[in-house]
Amino acid sequence: MNFLEKLLAAARTNESLLCIGLDPDPELMPGVSVIEFNKRIIDATSDLVCAYKPNLAFYEAMGIEGLKALEKTVAYIPKTVPIIGDAKRGDIGNTARAYAKALFETFGFDAATVNPYLGYDSIQPFIEYKEKGVFILCRTSNVGSAHFQALQLSEPSIPLFEMVAQRAKEWNIYGNVGLVVGATYPEELMRVRHLCPDMPLLIPGIGAQKGDLAGAIRYGVDEKGERAIISSSRQIIYASKGEDFAAVAREEALKLRGQINLYLGGCPKS
């Protein structure tokens, strides 16, 4: 089963487009270890998600122990739920091959986020893992993304993020390429979905960044109401700093999944 098949299977089984970011921050976590924190979040929410998305920065910041916790976290997640390694890698070909091997073979992620700034040869090593998903940064959710991504090109006369989407479509020869487009920019999301009707879209920015959930669903899903991954991290995993953090995380995940499904016109499980 390749990444897209695994994603669609999880989304259909759990009636969910929700992806939870597993981003452990010692300043926000209750007094438990990283692996204990992640395990309890996973136990509480694995029937409510279509994917998990660990951001590698939080683990790398803890050094070797953080990377060990990441390895254990990936191993703990149910095999039916895809894992997106949020690494935003992008480098010259030789280094890119090492990054791709690290993410897909060493850590075993089902998909990874990559930065297209260095061009195709920096992304090709990831794409060549045909069974893995490759999410190219396109129109990211942060305010500063406009400094480059919204710049208007002279030839053709389109913003840079649209050129990224067009290139990604050309590079999608194995059907394993997707795009990262923030829920904070619903109009741009609509344009990207129009350009790439069949690609999976990873849509961050819901929750702490106050992205437009209704717009994310309306413009992010494909014609079947699928292939959109609505990502939320802090809103769910840090809803409580107490001993009840996992139970409260489940409540928040249920609430957000319910809102997503209402916008889809569906009815979530209780």
Q: Which positions are annotated as active-site residues? A: 88
The DSSP secondary-structure symbol of 145 reads G
Q: Where are the beta strands (DSSP E) in the chain?
A: 18-22, 51-54, 84-89, 111-114, 133-139, 177-181, 201-203, 228-232
- What span, in angstroms and rounded, lies between the C-alpha atoms of 265 and 202? 21
Nearest to 221 by CA among 261, 165, 161: 261
Find the angle CA(46)-CA(88)-CA(17) to the nearest 5 degrees: 30
The pairing of beta strand 177-181 with beta strand 133-139: parallel
DSSP 166-228: HHHHHH-TTS-EEEEE-TT-HHHHHHHHHH-TTS-EEE---STT---HHHHHHHHS-TTS-SE
